[in-house]
Structure 1
Amino acid sequence: MDWDKLRIFHAVASAGSLTHAGETLHLSQSAVSRQIRALEESLGTTLFHRHARGLILTEQGELLFDATKAMARRLEAAEARIRDSREEVFGELRVTTTIAFGTLWLAPRLKALYDRYPDLNIDLMLEERVLDLPMREADVAIRMKEPSQADLIRRKLMEVRMRLYATPAYLEAAGTPERIEDISSHRLVCQNTSAPQVSAGARLVQLLMTHDVRSRLTVNNYFGVLQAVLNDLGIGVLPDYLTQDFPQLVRVLPELESEEVPVYLAYPEELRHSRRIAAFRDFVTEEVIAHRRRMREGEAA
């Protein structure tokens, strides 16, 4: 099978248009069309349905497109390894983590990484869905549990606990609870237990709800919970890594907290020697060590 024709087919299938594919490949529309017809003739099948608004893959076209997508991913991985064999750290690094950790802990610290490697481009993908690293949906992940996928290198970074926090202004107006039963007279701000989140946080919320909480605000991520707490709406269930960056928060019912939530960094085995991965891994590890030290100092104080 002609590799050049497969490259043109992949561009057309991705763009859904001969014209757009031609612009990407720097070829005329007629040249692209000829190559597609030649590929269809060599395979003895039709790969596209032609419509006025563009091209749609046939069933056979879908099968071939799945194959060319897999080829493209392997070529990208090979290109990354070849580039990273040099001394420089540059190019794109796709990082996935949860909305809360990425927004509230990781993103504010990335300036130090960019200062060190100004030619590095990070694509930060924040979502609760677990992306498939072996299929290269992302290059590296930070997850709130140990990854279960095979062929991953993983490193435990730290542990997180969910605790209760409020602002001094809220506590001055509503009073400070002394016992867990007192939570019934306060507004609880938390994630809905049905929302994607770590199970330890959901269990802590479920425990609090057994104490007749009459007023509550639920948000589907911890960033929203934090914003509500900072604006004096109530007592929030939040991860403890926030305390350094938001020192105005006051811990409420300090004897109450969730079980430990492990935080892992993971990346595919095939990227073991990637300099971009190594640079990001070492940077995050350094930041975690500094974070732990400051937390110990804060607790001691």
Structure 2
Amino acid sequence: MNWDDMRFLLAVAQTGSLKAAARSLDVDKTTVSRRLRAMEAALGRQVVEVSGQGLTLTDFGRRLYRPAEVMRDEMQAVAALAGADTGGALGTVRLTAVPMVINHILVPALSGLRAAAPTLRLELIAEARDLSLLRGEADIALRLARPTEGGQGVLARKLGDLDYAAYGARGAVQDLPWIGYEPRMHYLPQAAAITRAAGAEGAAHISVNDAETLFRLVCCGHGKTLLPRIVGDAEPRLVELPFTHGALPRREFWLMVRRELRELERIRLVVQWVERTLASLPSQAQPTRPPDHRDNGSHP
């Protein structure tokens, strides 16, 4: 087989479609499709398939992913030793989290990572849904609950807790109405607390399905809501309000990494940056002991 075809496998795994893979490799979609078919013909096995999530790797394709990563990294090392003009690129890391975390926690701290790793290509995937690390949709994920995906294939570590508080626009009128989440999202601790408060004070007239939209509405003075303290305290347009409807929610902050990628330099650099960023934030309850890497799905 043509070993260069492995980079097409990696691109499809990381982007989830022929079009996106072609864009990342700076080729046309037909080239990606042709190279994948050539790989499958040479191996005698199917490596990609169409699913509800787009184009994904087959079980056999997923087993090829780690060797393909190693091959790409080793070829970059060979090129560097040979004096080729690789620009010292570290490669790409795809990090996913909910939009609130991306926009208000990671983006303001991005200059630190860029200074430490100027040749790293970081893809920040702001998604409310949980992208799959095992399917190659992301390399690193930040979650606001104990992960359930991965088994032995994903390493998960608790980084701390997010405390919530009530906020409204500074200088807004008294007796602001509550702004909450749509009914499908009432499984979230903060959504349940808002619903409880709104039931006692008067029904919420606006509901959303995303915390970022919630934040924007509150900043514009349309009502009050519950936000993570690390977001609300950092926003000068907001002021903390009393909450008299039971305990305020707290959510766990978890870092997830695909096991086979954990030793790659670019992964280590991004993980260290995330850990430093969260450790430096005010209004975050830190773990009472240093968290240990643990296999997702198991409880020590």
Shared fold (TM-score, shorter chain, > 0.5): yes
Instruction: Give the stretch that moved more between structures: 215-224 or 277-286.
Output: 215-224
In 1, Cα distance between equivalents of 2:201 and 2:243: 20
Choose from 242, 249, 255 the match for 2:238: 249
**Does the 8 A contact of 2:180 with 2:195 survive in 1?**
no
What per-residue deviation string (whole Å, max 9, x for no partner) do you get for residues 78-130 of structure 1? 246547989x6711000011121112211221121112111011111111222
2:192 maps to amino acid: R
2:106 maps to amino acid: L
Choose from 147, 151, 168 the match for 1:166: 168
Instruction: Rate the CA distance shift 1:7–1:115 in 2: closer, same or farther, 3 A.
Output: closer
1:70 corresponds to: 62
Question: In the comparison of the two structures, how many residue pairs are matched?
Answer: 248
2:269 corresponds to: 279
2:143 corresponds to: 143
CA displacement at 1:223 relative to structure 2: 1.0
SS of equivalent to 2:281: helix
Is 2:195 aligned against 1:206? yes
Instruction: Rate the CA distance shift 1:141–1:21 in 2: closer, same or farther, 3 A.
Output: closer
Instruction: Rate the CA distance shift 1:89–1:5 in 2: closer, same or farther, 3 A.
Output: closer
1:181 corresponds to: none
CA displacement at 1:190 relative to structure 2: 2.4
TM-score with structure 1 length normalisation? 0.68
1:258 corresponds to: 248
SS of equivalent to 1:245: coil
1:232 corresponds to: 221
Higher helix share: 1
What per-residue deviation string (whole Å, max 9, x for no partner) do you get for residues 133-184 of structure 1? 12322111000112222122222122113321012221xxx22xxxxxxxxx
SS of equivalent to 2:184: coil
**Does the 8 A contact of 1:95 with 1:138 survive in 2?**
yes
Listed as ranges, the matches of 1:74-93 within 5 Å are 74-79=66-71, 82=74, 90-93=90-93
**Does the 8 A contact of 1:89 with 1:119 survive in 2?**
yes
1:54 corresponds to: none
2:119 corresponds to: 119
1:153 corresponds to: 155
| Rg larger in structure | 1
What per-residue deviation string (whole Å, max 9, x for no partner) do you get for residues 245-278 of structure 1? 3134211115665332000111011122111111
SS of equivalent to 2:202: coil
SS of equivalent to 1:121: strand
**Does the 8 A contact of 2:131 with 2:138 survive in 1?**
yes
- Gapped runs of 5+ residues in structure 1? 48-56, 59-64, 176-184, 297-301
2:207 corresponds to: 218
Instruction: Give the stretch that moved more between structures: 274-283 or 66-75.
Output: 66-75
1:162 maps to amino acid: Y
Is 2:106 aligned against 1:106? yes
TM-score with structure 2 length normalisation? 0.68
**Does the 8 A contact of 2:182 with 2:207 survive in 1?**
yes
The CA RMSD over aligned residues, in Å, is 3.9
CA displacement at 1:219 relative to structure 2: 1.8
SS of equivalent to 1:211: helix
Quote the sequence identity (%). Answer: 17
2:273 maps to amino acid: F
Instruction: Rate the CA distance shift 1:67–1:223 in 2: closer, same or farther, 3 A.
Output: closer
SS of equivalent to 1:161: strand
